[in-house]
């Protein structure tokens, strides 16, 4: 499996303690150029709001910059949180990106609000007189119809698809998810499906199989296509990889305790974790982290891909030191023999 396995990057643009959001965004551009040079297949940027640790609030803005600085990568959103937007505005934005970068733009769409608190979610609402409606299914159907020009002739918006600025180019739509409902929607609509193993590893294989079994071919896609997003960190040794991961472990504990902050330094995280040694694990502490030397990480990722029945993984991680994060992706590229 590893010889044919393609790798991509899912980047949350982490903000390290002692640094700034602006530097985190520049680090994303730097990492994307490295991924382009080292043979990664796609590069997706995430959408999070109101976070002191993640700078990726606007994937559509980052996508344009990344695509302009690279030449090979497929560049996309992992993903656009559709409940915040009108389907037309998303279609217009990604049509423009597709027109500027033909054949390279991907539109990954998610259902969550991308926030950790109700105040931020409320601030993102355009209409604050009423609770935000739970109408993601209708939003998604409208977005796909606008992109594909499949609105009925008597539909109020029937004239709008022809006015999308980037036509005839279109983004490639993907549905993101980690739940049974997302697998069902992706299958019923004939969409490519990106499963977040880093969120829900326990149910992943079952949901991937359900997606394939229920898949209905569409004009966009004849057969099911699955990519799995995995948290993975590679270093020269197993010990060093485990050390570097301390920052992410501390950040996860702080987030579960409603005390988020920038990504802590490794030394501070090691002290923090040492003080907590022996305490009962908190809810959500069983998230999968693939860590180790190049050979160890390669073998574990190849086995995970085989379990899912996929030929592509998106690699996600957060590391305090940007140079160490670059090194992780370089080691992975070498371990899998990606074509530079």
Residues 256-315: tens digit of each pLDDT: 877 789 999 999 999 999 998 877 555 445 589 999 999 999 999 999 999 999 999 999
pLDDT of residue 1: 39
What is the per-residue pLDDT for 281?
Answer: 58
Q: Note the pLDDT of residue 243.
A: 98
| Residues whose CB falls within 8 Å of the CB of residue 114, separated by 6 or more in sequence, listed in order | 46, 47, 48, 49, 81, 84
Greater confidence, 67 or 278? 67
DSSP β-ladder status, 105-110 and 312-316: unpaired
The residues with which 81 forms a beta bridge, in sequence order, are 110
Domains and CATH numbers, the chain: 6-336 (3.20.20.30)
How many residues in total does the chain contain?
Answer: 340
2 pLDDT exceeds 50? no
Q: Which range (18-32, 128-142, 205-219, 262-276) has the least confidence?
A: 128-142
Q: Check pLDDT > 50 for residue 62.
A: yes
Q: What is the mean pLDDT of residues 181-192?
A: 96
Residue 3 has pLDDT above 60, yes or no: no
Residue with tokens 């305490």, as numbered in its chain: 279
Average pLDDT of span 239-249: 97
pLDDT in tens, 77-123: 999 999 999 999 999 999 999 999 999 999 999 998 777 778 888 88
What is the per-residue pLDDT across 144-167, written as a single tens digit (0 to 9) for each? 999 999 889 999 999 999 999 999
Q: Using a pLDDT cut of 90, give the percent of the chain over it.
A: 84
| Region of poorest pLDDT, from 28-32, 133-137, 235-239, 260-264 | 133-137
Q: What is the average pLDDT across 203-215?
A: 96
Residue 261: per-residue pLDDT: 93
Residues in CB range of 138: below 8 A, 6 or more apart: none
The pLDDT assigned to 161 comes to 95
Average pLDDT of the chain?
93
Angle of CA points 184, 255, 276, to nearest 5°: 125
Q: What pLDDT does 43 receive?
A: 98
């Amino acid at each position: 499996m590893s010889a044919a396995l393609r790798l991509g990057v899912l980047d949350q643009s982490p903000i390290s303690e002692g640094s700034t959001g602006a530097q985190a965004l520049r680090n994303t551009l730097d990492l994307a150029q490295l991924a382009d040079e080292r043979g990664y297949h796609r590069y997706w940027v995430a959408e999070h709001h109101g976070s002191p640790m993640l700078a990726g609030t606007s994937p559509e803005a980052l996508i344009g910059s990344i695509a302009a600085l690279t030449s090979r990568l497929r560049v996309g959103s992992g993903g656009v949180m559709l409940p915040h937007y009108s389907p037309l505005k998303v279609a217009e934005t990604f049509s423009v990106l597709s027109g500027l970068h033909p054949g390279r733009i991907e539109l990954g769409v998610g259902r969550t609000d991308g926030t950790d608190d109700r105040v931020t979610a409320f601030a993102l609402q355009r209409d604050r007189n009423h609770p935000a409606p739970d109408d993601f299914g209708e939003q998604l159907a409208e977005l796909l119809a606008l992109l594909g020009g499949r609105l009925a002739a008597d539909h109020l918006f029937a004239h709008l698809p022809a006015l999308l600025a980037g036509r005839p180019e279109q983004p490639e739509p993907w549905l993101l998810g980690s739940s049974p409902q997302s697998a069902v929607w992706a299958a019923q609509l004939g969409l490519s499906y990106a499963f977040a193993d880093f969120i829900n590893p326990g149910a992943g294989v079952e949901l991937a199989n359900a997606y394939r079994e229920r898949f209905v071919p569409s004009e966009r896609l004849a057969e099911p296509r699955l990519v799995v997003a995995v948290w993975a960190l590679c270093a020269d040794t197993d010990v060093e990889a485990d050390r570097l991961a301390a920052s992410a472990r501390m950040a996860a504990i702080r987030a579960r305790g409603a005390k988020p902050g920038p990504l802590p330094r490794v030394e501070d995280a090691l002290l923090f974790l040492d003080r907590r040694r022996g305490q009962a694990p908190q809810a959500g502490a069983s998230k999968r982290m693939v860590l180790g030397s190049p050979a160890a990480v390669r073998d574990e990722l190849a086995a995970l891909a085989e379990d899912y029945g996929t030929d592509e993984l998106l690699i996600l991680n957060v590391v305090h030191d940007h140079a160490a994060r670059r090194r992780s992706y370089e080691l992975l590229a070498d371990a899998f023999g990606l074509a530079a």
